[in-house]
Amino acid sequence: MQLLIDTHILIWLVLNDRRLSAAQRDALGNPDNALIVNPLVAYELTHLQRTRRIAFEEPIDRSQQLTGFALVDLPQSVWRFVGRLPDVHRDPIDRLLVAHALCEEMAVVTADRNIRRYPVECI
């Protein structure tokens, strides 16, 4: 299974944070699952670090080394999925994350309640 990782989950994974649920830990630790980060999450993490909105200092490339995720570009067809999403909330990064997961048939690993309201598999 391909797991598309939300920004906060990536941070929690690197830090081995207790906020990761048992299901998330199992899925993320399963060697049969591919861990995927898209450029939007990489951008969001870098932006939050540069603006000092989070106390997480690991650069994205070091986080990749620690977790083994693949950095995967958005497919061109993602735009078709974005336009069909229900108006759950207006965060464009979250909407593109959901669209990317739907487009590539991935599960989103997130604790975000708004993302969980979309018609996408979440862990």
CB atoms within 10 A of CB 99: 23
CA distance 3 to 31: 12
Query: pLDDT (tens digit, 9 = 90+) per residue, 14-69?
Result: 999 999 999 999 999 999 999 999 999 999 999 999 999 999 999 999 999 999 99
Cβ(85)–Cβ(79) below 8 Å: no
pTM of the model: 0.95
pLDDT digits (tens, 9 = 90+) for 85-99: 998 988 999 999 999
* Superfamily holding 2-116: 5'-nuclease (3.40.50.1010)
Distance of CA 83 to CAs 28, 54, 59, 63, 122, Å?
29, 31, 32, 31, 20
